[in-house]
Structure 1
Amino acid sequence: MKIVLFANTDWYLYNFRRSLALALRDAGHQLLLLSPPGPYGEKLQALGLRWEPLPMERRSLNPLREIGLLRHLVRVLRRERPALVHGFTIKCAVYGSLAARMAGVPARVNAVAGMGYVFTSSDLKARLLRPVVRSLLRLALDGEGARLILQNSDDIALFEKAGLIDPSRIRLIRGSGVDCSRFTQRSGARADGPLRVLLAARLLWDKGLDEYVKAARQLLAEGRPIHFLLAGEPDPGNPAAVPEATVQAWVNEGVVTWLGHVDDMVGLLSSVDVVVLPSYREGLPKTLIEAAACGLPLITADVPGCREVVTDGVDGLLVPVRDGDALAGAIRRLQDDPALARRLGEAARVKAHAEFDERIVVRRTVDAYRELCGPVAVPVLKVDGVRVGGVVSSSPSGRGLG
């Protein structure tokens, strides 16, 4: 079977869907990966995956450019004649589905991780775009040959309330998964020294960077021995991007240490004590799951997506959104109670292995393919000794995948 995977960056395909692509390829399926050009395209090709760049600009609102992109996609799909197109993020879901309909592709699967800038921002531009995007989503996502994958229960409720798609075509798959065999609990306690707190995310205001800096200032002013780390790069393609000059000002102030882009997240997570993500809304944050798999205590905002990973007081701490004081209080609590931090970290590790291992996500994604395309072969995979792969049955269940 030929499958097209379409995302708005090559970075996303490499970091979030590499395991799915490799599993499908190893099962004998033909794959084409599409995204705008970027340095990760070559990395995908080096893995033996077929990747092709598209003339796509994430922030473009130019009608001529957007029509040109849609026509380009239609030409590619007519040339390739895939059985299924799988789009990631809202823009790719819309364009990929519309192009698939025009090209006569029988099956369309879309995975939307969070509602994106248009639905989460209160900016005038976002508010003006919202009804247009809603109409396009209704047109693109629904239909007998479509399935929509969402990552948390709040987004499912939102899509259903907005009437964007028949609820029977929505599937819940929590995240893109994490290789829990790589992200492992460190052996032994870290050497004595300042508490090391990490926020790892794209440098966007809606990831809670302002609240993180506010909490850092407060705790450092108390004289607490804490080292605040910030990993990630600015995202100039996003309207919520934090200017690099602002980040550098925080560094010059001595509030945070900015690590930039980090390839070795396993090594970074093994060097820290607490991971925080005071985001305003998420699909399902991969950084939190990676940290959980490493047995680290988590602090995150009580918002959709984040609370799918963390249950307050059980496997992490939840704080009110946009509340730097509460974030500071949670960090203070973990520093003052190491036993609590260890207990939360251990519970987070157990949950990550049970619910978020990437092999589970691959199997459930293929289940969605199977509903539309019949039998779909995948490698035999195991999670904690339990078979979760193989050739799956062709009889559709029509039920949500939990």
Structure 2
Amino acid sequence: MAKRKLIRVTTSDISLDSLIKGQLKFLSSEFEVIGVSNNTGVLAIVGEREGIRTIEVPMHREISLFSDIKCLWLLYRLFRKEKPDIVHANTPKGSMLSMIASKLASVPHRFYTVTGLRYQGASGLFRTLLMAMERISCYCATKVIPEGEGVKKTLLEDKITSKEMHIIHNGNINGIDTIYFSEQATIEQIKQSLNLSKEADSEKVRDLFRESIGLSKNDFAFIFIGRIVNDKGMHELAGAFSKLIPIYPHCKLILVGNFEHELDPLDSKDLDFLQNNRNIKLMGYQRDVRPFLLASDIFTFPSYREGFPNVVMQAGAMGLASIVTNINGCNEIIKNGENGIIIPPRNTTELFVAIKDFIENPQKKQLMAEKAREMIRSRYEQRDVWNALLKTYRELEK
């Protein structure tokens, strides 16, 4: 019996590579899976790793009428040719185009997973346009899947859709591989990358990696992972650390991610501070963030808007307590006072106080860290999320 056909769409191959890593290979046991996205250079790598066919459609995150119409036509032709049973999309642009195209092509099952809502950080006509895009995606979908309870609530409150919505498992798009995101696996990876003896103990390995990125044994290291833009709370992070560093010279901030100077650039004062202060360690984009999490003491994520951020779960799986803002996703992963601290968004003072409290009360860090990993493992284990998604697909047969 031939397998049913599933096409998964994201705007960029980077999203296929990172957001749903491993999931496509898992699903290919029951489906003929095709991955569709723009190709920035990793699409073929994704196809080989996941054991699936991949097809390039040159979609871009930015709005471009001519390019978007061209991609809509390419997707429509692709769906007419492949005749998939399911088209499942996430990321805003890829989702809107593929939901319209799959509806026009009469694809029977059209899934839209709603992650971060871009319009929440916009205003004026641009916000209206982004909201319209979300409404179109939801209208054309046969099943709308919010990434978490917060996203679901926002979609209803903003009247984006009135359709019945279904959250997969406890939320998130891919869950967390808690074997991969563990101290043991990370220690082994660092031993290989630094050519250390297999017998080297964990504490020594951690100290050596910290030393390799400019941290001393006595430094108290906070870490941020993500795009370095205003929307992620960089203004507040720069403001808090500019006050903290003169008081606590051993306080360091590790930034893992790229500065985006065209989309949502930083204020020149914040940019100068983050790029030139010796207590700020700039690591750039890293495909493997585990060693940097292992080297850190606290995860900081003062973002303005999210869907269900993977990095907060990754930090928790690595045994880190987190400081997050009270926004969608973050306030579902973090239970205030248990595995981290929740603060109001856009509040430099509250961020400063939370960071200062962890520095002055290391036992608080330890108590929260002890709960962090188990709270992720019990709610967001990757195989549980995948099996819940597979169950949702199987129910279409009934």
Q: What interval of TM-score do these two structures reach, taking the shorter chain for normalisation?
A: 0.7 to 0.9
Cα distance in 2 for residues equivalent to 1:4 and 1:296: 36
1:271 is the counterpart of 2:286: no
Picking from 175, 178, 189, the partner of 2:176 is: 178
> Which amino acid is 2:275 matched to?
V
Task: Give the superposition deviation at 1:294.
Answer: 0.9
Residues 44 and 50, structure 1, Cα contact 8 Å, conserved in 2: no
Cα pair 2:176 2:382 within 8 Å, conserved: yes
Residue ranges of structure 2 left out of the alignment (5+ in a row): 185-201, 208-216
1:234 to 234, 249, 259: 259
Secondary structure at 2:327 match in 1: coil
Alignment of 1:4-153 (within 5 A): 4-25=7-28, 27-47=29-49, 48-62=51-65, 64-116=66-118, 119-130=119-130, 132-141=132-141, 146-153=142-149
Distance 1:246 1:224 in 2: 19
What TM-score do the two structures reach when normalised by structure 2?
0.85
Alpha carbon RMSD of aligned pairs, Å? Answer: 2.2
Moved more, 341-350 or 127-136: 127-136
Instruction: Give, in angstroms, the shift of residue 5 of structure 1.
Output: 0.6
Quick one: distance in 1 between partners of 2:248 and 2:372? 29
Among candidates 375, 380, 391, match of residue 351 of structure 1: 375
Contact 1:213 1:255 in 2 (8 A): no
Alignment partner of 1:8: what SS? strand
Say whether the 8 Å CA contact 1:276–1:298 is kept in structure 2.
Answer: yes
The CA distance in 1 between the partners of 2:267 and 2:350, in whole Å, is: 25
C-alpha separation in 2, matches of 1:22 and 1:366: 12
Output the amino acid matched with 1:193. Answer: N
Alpha-carbon distance, 1:185 to partner = 3.6
Q: Report how far residue 112 of structure 1 moved.
A: 1.3
In 2, the alpha carbon distance for the partners of 1:134 and 1:356 equals 26
1:330 aligns with 2:354: yes
Q: Within 5 Å, which residues of 2 pair with 1:301-380?
A: 301-372=325-396, 374=397
Counterpart of 1:5, as a letter, is R
Q: Quick one: structure 1 residues 138 and 349, their matched pair in 2 at CA, closer, same or farther if it must change by over 3 Å? A: closer
Structure 1 pair 328–267 and aligned structure 2 pair: CA distance change class (3 A): same
Question: Across the two proteins, how many residue pairs are aligned to each other?
Answer: 365
- Conserved 8 A contact 1:310-1:317: yes
**Cα gap change, 1:257/1:201 in structure 2, threshold over 3 Å: closer, same or farther?**
same
In structure 2, the partner of 1:297 is 321
Write the distance in 2 (CA, Å) between the matches of 1:162 and 1:264.
36
CA distance change for structure 1 residues 126 and 37 in 2, over 3 Å: closer, same or farther? Answer: same
Q: 1:269 to 1:223 in 2, by over 3 A?
A: closer
SS of the counterpart of 2:164? helix
Query: Which one of 223, 231, 241 corresponds to residue 248 of structure 2?
Result: 223
Structure 1 residues 279 and 28 mapped into 2: Cα distance closer, same or farther (>3 Å)?
same
Contact 2:12 2:38 in 1 (8 A): yes
Are the counterparts in 1 of residues 9 and 87 from structure 2 also a CA contact under 8 Å?
yes
Q: Which residue of 2 aligns with 1:253?
A: 277
Separation in structure 2 between the aligned mates of residue 123 and residue 98 of structure 1, nearest angstrom = 25
Which of 277, 286, 293 aligns to 1:262? It is 286
Q: How much does 1:260 deviate?
A: 0.2
CA contact (8 A) 1:109 1:369 kept: no
Do 1:147 and 1:368's aligned partners in 2 also have CA atoms closer than 8 Å? no
Q: Specify the alignment match of 2:190 in structure 1.
A: none
TM-score, with length taken from structure 1: 0.85
Distance 1:148 1:138, change over 3 A: closer
In structure 1, the residue matched to 2:199 is: none
Distance 1:88 1:40 in 2: 18
SS in 2 for 1:21: helix
Q: More displaced, 255-264 or 158-167?
A: 158-167
